[in-house]
Amino acid sequence: MPETRVRLPVSLALIAALLLPSPAFADALVENVDGMTLDEKGDVVRFNGIVIGADGKIVKLLKRGDKRPERPEWREDLKGRTVIPGMIDAHGHVMELGFRALALDLSATTSLADAQAAIHRYALENATRPWLIGGGWNQEAWNLGRFPTAAELDAATGDKPTWLTRADGHAGWANSAAMKAAGITAATKSPPGGRIELVAGKPGGVFVDAAMALIEKALPKPTPRDRNAAFIKAQDLLLATGITATADMGTSLEDWMTYRRMGDQGALRVRIMSYSAGVDVALQAAGTGPTPWLYGDKLRMGGIKLYTDGALGSRGAWLKAPYADAPGNSGLPFLTDAQLLNSITRGAMDNFQLAIHAIGDRANKQVLDAIDEVSDTFNGDRRWRIEHAQIVDPADLPRFGKHGIIASMQPVHQTSDRMMAEARLGQARLAGAYAWKSMLANGAKLAFGSDYPVESPNPFVGWAAAFTRQDAQGQPFGGWRPEEAVSREQAWRAFTLDAAYAGFGEKLFGRLAPGMLADFLVVDRDPLLASPTELRGTVVLETWIGGQRMFQRGRGERRDGEAGR
């Protein structure tokens, strides 16, 4: 009995200790921040601290007076700096961004002579390469008034095969050696959906849209090592500009295997919403339906990318009437109505989301007609996407809201294209051009991106353009067609909540709130108070994904994905 009396209090004490709440060591604390996010309604929410769980999700946003965790696993003091949700690019090309950054970049050239000089320097520095490859040229920026020619490229490259894609990715410039390597002769015909630009009746060196494949079949194939390097470079650039999640439009099977390889190695940091390059790739990569989120919500193939036309700059966009500056040319349709319906149907059968490139007003009508036809068969939460939707007949604008279509648009295209658009279309046909506010007014969801590497992935440049309709120089005064500007908050939403929604990611990221992934940026200014010029100049100091610091200015990418300690 004495022994029992001794044991009983000890046992009760142990039981009581187990029943008492134990200190929580799993949660972490990011404090002393000037935080701001949007809620689901689009209203601004302010906070000064974030409690993050071990799963990388937000436990609580803290406000003044809220109790802090007493013993967090780690604590990060951000010294009053501004914190906002990670920005999301609704339309980009990840691998192209990396390859472009590692190759010859002509995006800064301002004349043909300037480009020739840059190409010649690159040729001398890369004399051992079998081909010279690059891109970014734009004859409009050169004020050339025409496409460049193979002979003009020969002058800079000699007999080294060279292939340079246009800034929009819808045309390529080949020299004579490249055309010879690809078997291009005077007898070569333009393929459906493509155009070979002719000079004196012969292939002149520029290949538009589907005709680009005539040259690209001869290019040396990138090795897995090349692809790894391109991906790492692209990821570094995205993290440094504040992109925490991105849609990858037109993922090839090789791209997908690169992402899987990076994920397997623990090197995947940015979140990728993948849209396969056509139905066949989706069926090979994902099987019979979208993949689950992989690698800790870093990668998912959920959709299929289709093309219905080309781009405005290369006069490949399919218009209802001929180009104002090229009578007789109405652009290039890529698919017949039947082909488009077949591809949409095949993808929708397996619940893939369809994201369809349409720039010209005729191409947009074709897509809207197709969605009208299939929407009764494939109902439910389909989130049909039209990529770019740049030139829309005002009569077709209400149709975007009919089926909850997502208008996936890029504000920087408007500032880059406005003078070209005026020349291509004429003033009378601009009413539905880059019509962001009209899209919202007609019930469409608006998702913003950059179309990198066509444009810089910097989301703050696009954010400023969206509510000003002005370029970096503040031109034109008052904005280009300012009636189509959206508000600062609407633009922010299109780069966050609705860009996430566009990729079926809105339950994971796009805003900062309990239960959402802790994807956020530390920036050097308050984007809601900054002038448009100041907003464009926003510097990303740190990029956090899933509660881990992935980028810190001055230190580059944190490849260990360390938490803030």
Is 152 contained in some domain?
yes
Alpha carbon distances (Å) from 320 to 123, 386, 422, 425: 42, 18, 16, 11
Is 197 contained in some domain?
yes
Q: Residue 20 has what pLDDT?
A: 46
* Average pLDDT, rounded, for the chain: 92
pLDDT tens readout for residues 350-366: 999 999 999 999 999 99
Q: Residue 4 has what pLDDT?
A: 35
Residue type, 328: G
Secondary structure string (H, E, C) spanning 335-394:
CCHHHHHHHHHHHHHCCCEEEEEECCHHHHHHHHHHHHHHCCCCCCCCCCEEEECCECCH
d(CA 459, CA 539): 11
Cβ(390)–Cβ(319) below 8 Å: no
Residue 5 has pLDDT above 60, yes or no: no
pLDDT tens readout for residues 227-242: 999 999 999 999 999 9
Is 205 contained in some domain?
yes
Is 137 contained in some domain?
yes
Q: Residue 167 has what pLDDT?
A: 87
Structural domains counted in the chain: 1
CA 158 to chain centre: 36
Q: Residue 314 has what pLDDT?
A: 87
Is 263 contained in some domain?
no
pLDDT tens readout for residues 545-555: 999 999 999 87
> Shortest CA distance to 516 belongs to which of 56, 25, 31, 29?
56
Provide the CB-side half-sphere exposure for 434 (13 A, CA): 31
Region 371-379: mean pLDDT is 95
Q: State the CB neighbour count (10 A cutoff) for residue 345.
A: 16
Region 427-452: mean pLDDT is 96
Helix, strand, coil percentages, rounded to 5, for the chain: 35, 25, 45
| Residues spanned by the domain of 206 | 97-216
Q: CB pairs under 8 A, 24+ apart, for 97-100? A: 97/233, 97/234, 97/237, 97/238, 97/452, 97/453, 97/457, 98/229, 98/230, 98/231, 98/232, 98/233, 98/234, 98/235, 98/237, 99/133, 99/222, 99/230, 100/134, 100/135, 100/136, 100/453
Region 74-95: mean pLDDT is 98
Residue 558 has pLDDT above 50, yes or no: no
Is 55 contained in some domain?
no
Is 140 contained in some domain?
yes
pLDDT tens readout for residues 155-176: 999 999 999 999 888 899 999 9
Region 192-218: mean pLDDT is 94
Q: State the CB neighbour count (10 A cutoff) for residue 523.
A: 22
The DSSP letter of residue 395 is G
pTM, two decimals, is 0.87
Tell me what percent of the residues of the chain surpass a pLDDT of 70: 94
Residue 65 has pLDDT above 70, yes or no: yes
Residue type, 241: T
> Shortest CA distance to 293 belongs to which of 500, 448, 95?
500
Looking at residue 162, which CATH number applies to its domain?
A: 3.10.310.70
Is 86 contained in some domain?
no
Q: Residue 70 has what pLDDT?
A: 87
Q: Residue 556 has what pLDDT?
A: 52
Region 370-386: mean pLDDT is 95
Tokens found for residue 239: 């993290």
